[in-house]
Amino acid sequence: MAKPLPPVQTISTGLVVSVVGFFSSFPIILQGLETMGASEAEAASGLMSAAIAMGLAAIFLSLRYRQPISVAWSTPGAALLAVSATPAEGFSGAIGAFLCAGALTVLAGLWKPLGRLAAAIPTTLAQAMLGGVLLPLCIVPFKAAVELPWQALPVILTWFIAGRFNKLFAVPAAVVAAALVVVFSAEGTSVRPESFLAPPVWTMPTFSLASAIGIGLPLFVVTMATQNIPGIAVMRGFGYTSEPGKLFSSVGGASLLSAPFGAPATCLAAITAAMCSNEDSHPDRALRYWSAIMAGLFYCLFGVFAVAITGFAAHADPLLMGTLTGVALIGVMANATFAALEVPAEREAAILTFAITASGITTFGLGAAVWGLLAGGVAYLISQRIR
């Protein structure tokens, strides 16, 4: 008996989902990996493995459960890496931290108390931590507009104008604008497509307590709080129910397999999950899982050519790439800040978390995100007890 072919509508939906998911955030992944000490080859390998991991995970989970389970890389996690200090061990230390975060995600799926603990982190504090992480990155485009106006302003204006018509395509349009800037700038004259394919690069991990607590733990927390748990909520909102523990363990397992090749974290998607799950994906809700499958196939295709994308980005001025990263995160930061301040009784703790995280301090080997969440958590518990 011949296997059923995917409906044509789900193929087009999958393509749109993959374009939005990949091109809206790949500069953030690259910046995060470079901050962690990755070379150009290691960053390309990380982008490749992250795209292929989320593609294969989406295909496997959607086929397994016959539901539109959209998978993504952790954009908030990559933003966290971009503002964190490079591990003392270099990129191998970052790989060890990625593995710690993946192992915690698997454990959260298998051991319910840890999953409940991650879910118990107040949403306001998690979103405040995310907002504090994103603030320094969202400032960069406006600094670049002064220091590099002829390159940064076309990207900012393209992002803003495209967003008035369709917010989902605002960042992909800015990516196109940045590519044109690179091509027509002095740096762009040396771009040669001599190598579009390259094998992934294995990096032997180095484990340390400082990297595990300073990078791995915050990566796990921000990914669970802003990606995995909302992803489950989005699917339930469209009537799709799967056991969260199994999904957490699956994406955590994908993280463990792809981390040695440079991928920070694989997680459940939220925005693209809504795109795959609504009626625009397909009128028949029983067939919408094909949209997530097709998106997974396109993610894998984009991942194969990650070396070419990374090589092209390497010719751009760092401020131009910072501009692209910043505009891609402005909407995320706006949503995070709104969610952080939504509950009046928790605003003081949220602002404390936000301010300390945004400060970028590092004390006793722990980064600002850890201190922000700790200080905000203490303030939250004290205020709750007083009330």
User: What is the DSSP track for 222-249?
Assistant: HHIIIIIHHHHHHHHHTT----HHHHHH
CA-to-CA distance for 258 and 65, rounded, in angstroms? Answer: 23
- Read off the tokens for 166: 């369709």
Share the mean pLDDT of the chain.
Answer: 86
Residue with tokens 């004290």: 382
State how far the Cα of 30 lies from the Cα of 175, in Å rounded to an integer.
14
Mean pLDDT on 255-283: 88
pLDDT at 387: 67
Q: What is the pLDDT of residue 275?
A: 81
Q: What average pLDDT score do residues 147-170 get?
A: 89
Q: Comparing 120 with 157, which gets the higher pLDDT?
A: 157
Segment 307-366, tens digit of pLDDT: 888 877 777 888 888 898 888 888 888 888 888 898 888 899 999 999 998 888 877 767
E strand or H helix that includes residue 71? strand 71-73
For residue 188, the model assigns a pLDDT of: 44
Among 67-71, 78-82, 110-114, 355-359, the minimum mean pLDDT is found in: 110-114
Q: Of 49-58, 166-175, 224-233, 364-373, give the lowest mean pLDDT range.
A: 364-373
**pLDDT (mean) for 124-134:** 85
Whether pLDDT at 17 is above 70: yes
pTM: 0.82
Strand, helix or coil for residue 25: coil
Looking at residues 15-35, what average pLDDT do you find?
87
48 near 306, Cβ under 8 Å?
yes
User: Does residue 161 have a pLDDT over 90?
Assistant: yes
Would you state the pLDDT for residue 189?
47
DSSP state of 86: P
Using the predicted structure, report yes or no on whether residue 191 has a pLDDT greater than 70.
no
How many angstroms separate the Cα of 125 from the Cα of each of 49, 370, 378?
31, 12, 11
Spatial distance between the Cα atoms of 101 and 104, rounded to a whole number of angstroms: 5
Of the pLDDT bands very low, low, confident and very high (cuts 50, 70, 90), residue 241 is: confident
Query: What pLDDT, on the 0 to 100 scale, is given for residue 204?
Result: 94
pLDDT at 192: 53
Question: Hey, is 5 helix, strand or coil?
Answer: coil
Distance CA 76, CA 69 (A): 19
The predicted pLDDT at position 349 comes to 92
Per-residue DSSP letter, 268: E
What pLDDT shows up at residue 33?
A: 94
